[in-house]
Amino acid sequence: MALNRRVVVGVDSSTQSCKVVSVDADTGELLQLRSAPHPDGTSINPERWREAFEQAGGTAAAEGAGNVLALGVSAQQHGMVALDREDTPVHDALLWNDVRSAPQAAALTEKYGASMWAEEVGVVPVASFTITKLAWLHEHRPELAARVEQVMLPHDWLTWNILGRSAEATTDRSDASGTGYFSVQSNEYRLDLLEAALGRATRVPRVLGPSERAGLTQSGVIVSAGAGDNAAAALGLGAEEGDIVVSIGTSGTVFASTAARIVDPSGSVAGFADAAGGQLPLLATINGARTLVATAGLLGVDIERFGALALAAPTDADGLLMLPYLDGERTPNLPDATGSLTGMRRANMRPENLAQASVLGLVCSLADALDSLRGQGVPVRQVILIGGGSQSPAVQKIAADVFGVPVVLPAPGEYVALGAARQAAWALDGNFPLWKREIATELEPSTTRDWAIDVRARYAEQRGLIYGV
């Protein structure tokens, strides 16, 4: 790296790994990417996040190595980090994709009413949200709940560790809005809801504004407010009104950065905050690219061969239809669901059709989420398709037809980490950095997309017949 560069660092502490990117603060040019894996599972000792951050070069960056001037942290949302008075986790952090708290989510919704949650908090409880996990802890491990002195989220916890644990814990609106005990309407915590869920009062991180600083490391590196992963992705992409971001990673997410406040008592659309002072209406599916990986495993092929099989099949999989709720589902809210395969005939039970049915199921699930955003009045001009699953040629082949709008694929990149770096540059200079977004591929809906309309109709019919939604 040139000695005269001003360098900022962005961290993406995701479900699967910790990625650390070094970026030119003035141009947004990627200078370096390092990563380290996280253990698999839906609960984890938070120390594993700190260890992966160190292995990926984050500690050196926080010490100012490589001309680093500022650092920002983004992470998976909703994870429950519950600490005792010695700052030790009382339980492994329950992650967003841990659905054991589904009964508590239903109980909280019934107790206060879906309208109250949507209008006053911005979200209706589902098993992903932090408040439901605290309620689970209170109900199933009351002796541990009684020890909780402070609750954090994954990005809060990592930022706090980077600053040496002596500083006050901080968070931002985007991540706080995913807890279930922060009101996007008033920009204040609803500590009454938190106490009711956990059974006791507890400390929570201070909420910072988009360009505020969480503090300085011992070496003088600025640490920004940080953000939830989807809000950081919107920052990294420079998403504008009318841009709908569809991310196909471990999970699937569909969201937009907009000024309009969203109130959805059905709970389908979460009215989160973004990382730039606006709103981030979002829907998430538990079953993202792992749907494709699982189907490849069933077929006994690697992911490259799986993609080739899907491309060789008829576009509509010759009538084979998969509802991909393999790990339960969040959108629609079916935590106990399983996947299903319908439309089977002797003639279409071929590996190619099964591979294509998996791809169709994944994309139709995301298209349902896109329709829910439309139904809330969110403008839809184009889809920005990101995440590892977006690189699948089989996904790209059908995406624009199934979504029914133009689809653009940015140049491959770590946009969550890039968004965290962009926020760090914002905290460094006080001005939002105007970095360019490079588009790699543009896809238009075909004039003959009747097949996609038919597949989506059959998908909706089967979803209603099997799951009643």
d(CA 266, CA 118): 8
Write the CA distances from 3 to 6, 57, 59, 66, 221, integer angstroms.
8, 19, 20, 8, 17
**What does the block give as tokens for 467?**
């799951």
Radius of gyration of the chain (CA): 22
3-state secondary structure of 244: strand
**What does the block give as tokens for 334?**
């079916």
3-state secondary structure of 336: coil
d(CA 129, CA 119): 17
354 contacts: CB under 8 Å, gap ≥ 6 = 295, 298, 299, 309, 317, 320, 322, 341
Write the CA distances from 314 to 299, 357, 400, 404, integer angstroms.
18, 10, 17, 19
HSE toward the beta carbon, residue 359, CA cutoff 13 A: 33
Among residues 229, 264, 316, 401, the one annotated as catalytic is 229
Report which secondary-structure segment, H or E, holds 246: strand 243-248
Tell how strand 243-248 and strand 150-152 pair up: unpaired
253 contacts: CB under 8 Å, gap ≥ 6 = 230, 245, 246, 247, 282, 283, 284, 285
**What does the block give as tokens for 22?**
């070094």
Q: Letter for the amino acid at 218? A: Q
Q: Say if CB 132 and CB 99 are below 8 A apart.
A: no
Write the CA distances from 459 to 193, 309, 361, 370, 425, integer angstroms.
38, 21, 8, 15, 44
Q: Which of 421, 308, 393, 323 is nearest to 74 (CA)?
A: 421
d(CA 196, CA 387): 37
| Residue 175 known to be catalytic | no
d(CA 291, CA 83): 34
Q: Say if CB 392 and CB 2 are below 8 A apart.
A: no
**What does the block give as tokens for 263?**
């109130």
Which region, left, alpha or beta, applies to residue 356 given φ > 0 means left and ψ of -120 to 50 means alpha? alpha
Measured CA angle at 354 (ends 349, 360), to 5 deg:
135
d(CA 23, CA 12): 14
d(CA 211, CA 199): 34
d(CA 321, CA 123): 31
Residues with a catalytic annotation lie at: 229
